[in-house]
Amino acid sequence: MPDRDRCVALDRDDPLAGRRDRFDLPAGVIYLAGNSLGPPSADAPERLARFAREQWGAHLVGGWTADGWIELPRRLGARIAPLVGADADEVVVCDSTSVNLFKLLHAACDLRPDRPVIAAAADDFPTDRYLVDAVAAQRGRTVRRLDPLRVTAAELADSAVLVCSHVHYRTGRLYDMRSLTAAAHAGGALALWDVSHSVGALPLQLDVCAVDLAVGCTYKFLNGGPGAPALAFVARHAQEAMANPIAGWLGHAEPFAFAPAYRPAAGVGRLVAGTPDVAAMVCLDTALDVFDELDLAAARAKATALTDLFVQLIRGRLGDAFAVVSPREAQMRGSQVSLAHRDAYPIVQALIARGVVGDFRAPDVLRFGFAPLYLRHVDVFDAVSALADVMRAEDWRNPRYTRRAAVT
């Protein structure tokens, strides 16, 4: 089992060590919740202040043109495209993941008008489940819940689309995008992936996997900031047949013609509905600078090493105190390890009080994200030491840690 010195040595040899300087993390904090909300890059405060002063403050309404604000949904989409294995004109940034999922589920129904079923991963993230149910009801389809580990083409022979999260939010399991997409296609269905927990953490190959549609958050591993607008991907072959169910003016082919009737813009641009969140997009634009010239395969390799190290230290130092919920094989996990314990909630709170920030997911999961751009091996070692201290001192029994906050 590696000791602390060994972890320090691993950090010395880490080719990504320099990226940590691009972030401004609070002193004394080990941040293992970057899979929920990534931290700001070191430039973010200054860039936001400059935006307010030199763009909005100086150019006022002229900023839409002078500072290119109106282009931001397409331009940010083009910046994210190489991170997901897409062409620049297949990705757009707008609205939230939930809203984009709504739009793309409708698009899938448009593209497969005669298919009565929407197939979806059982036990997926709540918003994905709720929206599948809602759109199915709106479009007169029924929902079939499937275990993504056992999907067959035959089960999809009557389905318009298969909807699945790439990394499961609670267990951290990474699903096989290529084979599941192939199964969907073999059954005649489209594949719609939610990449919220994988974009920015590992190289995605939407193109190689022949994915049709995808959505994902930009405030998790991409560090775009709280509420940063989401990505939507539509493969070129699906773009022209797709309609945006929110037929807003900025998805119009000529918004400033103020025409009496809606006519969709070409391509993914039609997924824009209303005025972009410019300040949030400036924040995301800044966050994406950290991904310039980044080898995502190297980031994935480091993340895998960090999650392996964490599991090894948990087992070695805490024995059977926690059940490891995530797959044991690192290649089958995202950048996340989930542990289960009956007292997960107060343990997470007690750990946060010791400076190690993870999160809790009902009913009994402690969730830890390992963002490879700013975490060190030594952070993993110190986090496990803090957890061992919490368990030894039983701080989590303190009633102050059992009171549930609004956001867990």
Ligand X SMILES: *Cc1c(COP(=O)(O)O)cnc(C)c1O
Positions marked catalytic: 125, 194, 219-220, 367
Report if residue 194 touches ligand X, rule: CB under 6 A.
yes
Q: How far is the CB of 360 from ligand X (least distance, A)?
A: 15
Of 55 and 100, nearer to ligand X (C-beta) is: 100
Residues whose CB falls within 8 Å of the CB of residue 384, separated by 6 or more in sequence, listed in order = 310, 313, 314, 317, 318
Are β-strands 190-194 and 213-216 bridged in parallel, bridged antiparallel, or unpaired?
parallel
Supply the angle between the helices 278-289 and 72-84 in degrees, to the nearest 10. Answer: 30
Stretch that binds ligand X, among 180-188, 189-197, 320-328, 369-377 (CB under 6 A): 189-197
Contact 253, 263 (CB under 8 A): yes
Contact window for ligand X (CB under 6 A) among 13-21, 94-102, 270-278, 348-356: 94-102
CB of 170 to ligand X, least distance (A): 10
- Mark 224-243 with x for binding to ligand X (rule: CB under 6 A) and - for no binding: ------x-------------
- Cβ 18 to ligand X, closest distance in Å? 28
- Interaxial angle between packed helices 296-318 and 377-393, expressed in degrees from 0 to 180 and rounded to the nearest 10: 30
Angle 208-212-214 from CA coordinates, rounded to 5°: 95
Smaller CB distance to ligand X: residue 313 or 357? 357
- Which tokens in the block code for residue 330? 């690192």
Rounded to a whole number of angstroms, the minimum distance from the CB of residue 215 to ligand X is: 8
Task: Rule CB under 6 A: choose which of 81, 189, 217, 265 binds ligand X.
Answer: 217
* Window 129 to 168, contacts with ligand X (CB under 6 A): 165
Q: What are phi and psi of 380, to 5 degrees?
A: -65, -45
* Region from 18-26, 121-129, 143-151, 175-183 binding ligand X, contact rule CB under 6 A: 121-129
Least CB distance from residue 295 to ligand X, whole Å?
A: 25
> In the complex, what is the shortest distance from the CB of residue 31 to ligand X, in angstroms, rounded to a whole number?
17
The span from the CA of 192 to the CA of 164, in Å, is 7
Q: Is 365 in the site for ligand X (CB under 6 A)?
A: no
Is 31 or 396 the residue whose CB approaches ligand X more closely? 31
Does 273 engage in binding with ligand X (CB under 6 A)?
Answer: no
Q: Choose which of 98, 205, 312, 385 interacts with ligand X (CB under 6 A).
A: 98
Task: Please tell me whether the peptide bond between 229 and the residue prior to it is cis, using omega within 30 degrees of 0.
Answer: no
Task: Give how many residues touch ligand X by CB under 6 A.
Answer: 13
Nearest-approach distance from CB 276 to ligand X, in angstroms: 16
Cα angle 198-200-206, degrees, rounded to a multiple of 5 = 60
Four-point Cα dihedral 166, 73, 189, 98, nearest 10: 60
CB of 32 to ligand X, least distance (A): 16
Query: Which of 201, 124, 127, 222 minimizes the C-alpha distance to 165?
Result: 124
> Residue 97 interacts with ligand X (CB under 6 A)?
yes
Residue 317, both tokens: 């130092």
Q: How far is CA 161 from the centre of its chain?
A: 21
- CA-based nearest residue to 341, from 362, 357, 355: 362
168/354 with CB nearer ligand X: 168
125 binds ligand X (CB under 6 A): yes
* Cα 313 to Cα 291: distance, rounded to the nearest angstrom: 29
Regarding 408 and contact with ligand X (CB under 6 A), the answer is no
Report CA-CA distances (Å) from 27 to 111, 112, 186, 403.
Answer: 51, 52, 52, 26
Among 23, 102, 169, 374, binds ligand X (CB under 6 A): 169
Residue 244 interacting with ligand X (CB under 6 A): no
Q: For residue 130, which phi and psi values (nearest 5 degrees)?
A: -65, -45
Applying CB under 6 A, does 196 fall inside the site for ligand X?
yes
277 is an interface residue for ligand X by CB under 6 A: no
Residue 157, phi then psi, degrees to nearest 5: -65, -20
Q: What distance in Å separates the CA atoms of residue 353 and residue 219, rounded to the nearest whole number? A: 24
- Site residues, ligand X (CB under 6 A): 96-98, 125, 127-128, 165, 169, 194, 196-197, 217, 230
